[in-house]
Each structure stands twice: as C-alpha cells, then as structure tokens.
Amino acid sequence: MGSNVPHIPVLLAEVITGLQVRPGGLYVDGTVGAGGHAIGILEASAPDGRLLGLDVDPQAIQISRRRLDHFGERVILVRASYVSMETQLDVLGLGHADGVLLDLGLSSMQLETPERGFSFQETGPLDMRFDPDATRKAAELVNTLPEDELADLIYQYGEEPRSRRIARAIVAARPIRTTTELAEIVSQVVRRHKIHPATQTFQALRVTVNEELKRLREGLSAAIEALEPGGRLAVISYHSLEDRIVKRFFARESQDCICPPEALICECGHQATVEIVTRKPVRPSSREVTRNPRSRSARLRIAAKLDVGGED
Ligand SMILES: C[S@@+](CC[C@H](N)C(=O)[O-])C[C@H]1O[C@@H](n2cnc3c(N)ncnc32)[C@H](O)[C@@H]1O
C-alpha cells in the first residue's frame, strides 16, 4: 500500500457532473474504497452536502475515514454492503438520497496487498474476499470444486474460452496454495497477447467468491429505492458481465411494459422507475487512461429516478 494516493478515482469529473452534485445534497457512495470519489462529491457539494460511504472492507473504511476526516459531520462511514443502503439511510434517519454511486471492482489497495490474494503478480494466499469475514475463499473453489463445475465457473464468470483446459490443469495440480502458483499453472495451458493469461481465471474466482453479480443486481434495485425522485444513480463497471447487468437493468426499469413482444395487451403492470441519462456508456479519455491505466476498461452509466405515481 506504499503510494501516497492509495487509489485514483476513475471518471471523477464525469461522475460529479452526472450525479448533478450540488450544495445541500445527500449522496451515497456505496463502494467508498479509498474515498477518492467521496472527496470529489463532498467538495462539489460544499458547504453543507452530506455523504454516506459504505464498504464491506474494514481497511477501506479505515483509509477513507482518515482521508475524509476533515469533512467532519458531513460524512458518515459504515462498514456494510451497498445492498443494505436503504436500511443504513433509514437507521441513520437520513431519508432519501439525491445521488448514489457504485464504483464496482476492486481498489488498487486491495490489488496491491499480496496477502489479500487478488494479484497474480505477487505471491499471496488464494483469498480474494472483499469482506474478510466472509466464509468462502478462492482456495476452496480452486481445491475442492469438481472439474466440470470449475470449468463452468471460469467460462461463465471469466468469459474464458479455454476454461475446460484450465480446469483440467488446476485439478491435476491440486492442492494449489498461492496466487502465483495458480497463475503459473494457467499460463502453462493458455497463451494471451494483450493481457496476462490468468486475468480471466482470476476474475471468475473473485466474482464468485464475492457473489459480485448477485450483489450488483440487488444493489441496483436498492439504489433506486434509496433515491429521491429526480435523484441519480451512477454505476462504473469494469468488465462486460457487470456492464451488461447495468445496461439491462436500466433498459428494463425505463420501460412501462415489459411483457413479451407477442403479448397483445399489457399484463405485467410494470411501471418505469428510471429515465436513462447515458444512452451509451461514458468511457475514460485517452488522457485518463495514460494517467491511470486501470481506468481503461471503465464504463459509466447513469439513470435518473422518475417520480412514479407522483401525479395522483
Ligand atoms: C473500485 S473500489 C472503489 C474506489 C473508490 N471509488 C475510490 O475512489 O477510492 C471498489 C470498492 O467496493 C468495495 N465493495 C465490493 N463489493 C461491495 C459491496 N457489496 N458493498 C460495499 N462495498 C463493496 C470493495 O471493497 C472496494 O473497496
């Protein structure tokens, strides 16, 4: 965790503009991490905007507490999942939010701490938990899943076309203890040019360990519930599985009827809850990618909550 800036926030200006951050507003940063976006939101909402920051990782809460300390009572930090944001707002008596941010994926601090087991560059245990109190580590998946289940997982959550070959090599090499051991085993059976051969396998394990896609679906619904009408939800995703979920959620929630196309009359009774603000995802500029290579796969989507039933 050596550097002075623990994590560079991605698409910061675009998030602040997209959330329409203003003085007096109430914002939820559901993935507060090192507090980079939170600092931007608090500065843009000065002098009296407030922010509730959530993270499941106690180290992230500790770091952001230190970095956000000077904002005093304008900030509340809670170690909790963004899935519970409505409950957190309720318990704290804060009411509904004017903006919610979900910046998915992992932080540089997590990636650069070998003991957390996220990196294939440095040796560490096969852990990969965002929440260190969660019970299942990557080692359990790697060393105990049947070969076909492991292959399915790597294919589905890593979008890795060589999943069967990788699963076979993993099973043959068990028990596997460290991140670099696993990366080496994958590298022996897969060749890649632009990315490390183990990138997609590591992604699949991390997504599974943290149930990231399930949490994301739940978090998107929770965010809509937590918002004031007119309030905005901004989501930054880092791979196509996440982005597809956000895109489909926004598409579905922006429609009044979601009956199958062959239905003659609407039977679903679904009412649109959001309006899509970004038809196409916002991508980082080449300047940002040069300054912060980790931003290269980022896609930002924004939606505004509608005033459903507000005209009655
Ligand atoms: C990309 S980092 C956020 C960085 C942050 N925006 C910043 O500028 O420093 C993502 C964070 O989300 C956290 N996280 C992952 N799943 C979570 C969940 N279900 N609820 C809350 N936080 C979560 C991770 O622990 C990590 O700290």
pLDDT in tens, the chain (312 residues): 344 667 999 999 999 999 999 999 999 999 999 999 999 999 999 999 999 999 999 999 999 999 999 999 999 999 999 999 999 999 999 999 999 999 999 999 999 999 999 999 999 999 999 999 999 999 999 999 999 999 999 999 999 999 999 999 999 999 999 999 999 999 999 998 888 999 999 999 999 999 999 999 999 999 999 999 999 999 999 999 999 999 999 999 999 988 988 888 898 898 999 999 999 999 999 999 999 999 999 999 999 999 976 543
The reply to whether ligand 1 has any atom less than 6 angstroms from the CB of 25 is no
Calpha distance 297→281 (Å, rounded): 11
The reply to whether ligand 1 has any atom less than 6 angstroms from the CB of 53 is no
The reply to whether ligand 1 has any atom less than 6 angstroms from the CB of 206 is no
Eight-state DSSP code of residue 56: S
Calpha distance 99→226 (Å, rounded): 9
Rg of the chain over Cα atoms, rounded to whole angstroms, equals: 20
From 67, 101, 107, the mutation candidate for ligand 1 (largest count of ligand atoms within 8 A of CB) is: 107
User: Measured from the CA of 32, which atom of ligand 1 is nearest?
Assistant: 5
What pLDDT does 138 receive?
98
Residue closest by Cα to atom 5 of ligand 1:
33
| Cβ partners under 8 Å of residue 15, min gap 6 | 9, 37, 40, 41, 101, 103, 234, 236, 300
Burial of residue 263 (CB within 10 Å: 0-12, 13-18, 19+) is: exposed
From 7, 19, 31, the mutation candidate for ligand 1 (largest count of ligand atoms within 8 A of CB) is: 31
The reply to whether ligand 1 has any atom less than 6 angstroms from the CB of 222 is no
User: Measured from the CA of 10, which atom of ligand 1 is nearest?
Assistant: 8
Interaxial angle between packed helices 163-173 and 179-189, expressed in degrees from 0 to 180 and rounded to the nearest 10? 130
From 55, 67, 294, the mutation candidate for ligand 1 (largest count of ligand atoms within 8 A of CB) is: 55
Q: Tell me the CB-side half-sphere exposure of residue 206, using CA atoms within 13 A.
A: 23
Residue closest by Cα to atom 3 of ligand 1:
33
Residue closest by Cα to atom 8 of ligand 1:
36
Per-residue pLDDT reduced to its tens digit, 76-91? 999 999 999 999 999 9
The reply to whether ligand 1 has any atom less than 6 angstroms from the CB of 82 is yes
Interaxial angle between packed helices 199-209 and 147-158, expressed in degrees from 0 to 180 and rounded to the nearest 10? 100
Please state the pTM of the whole predicted model.
0.96
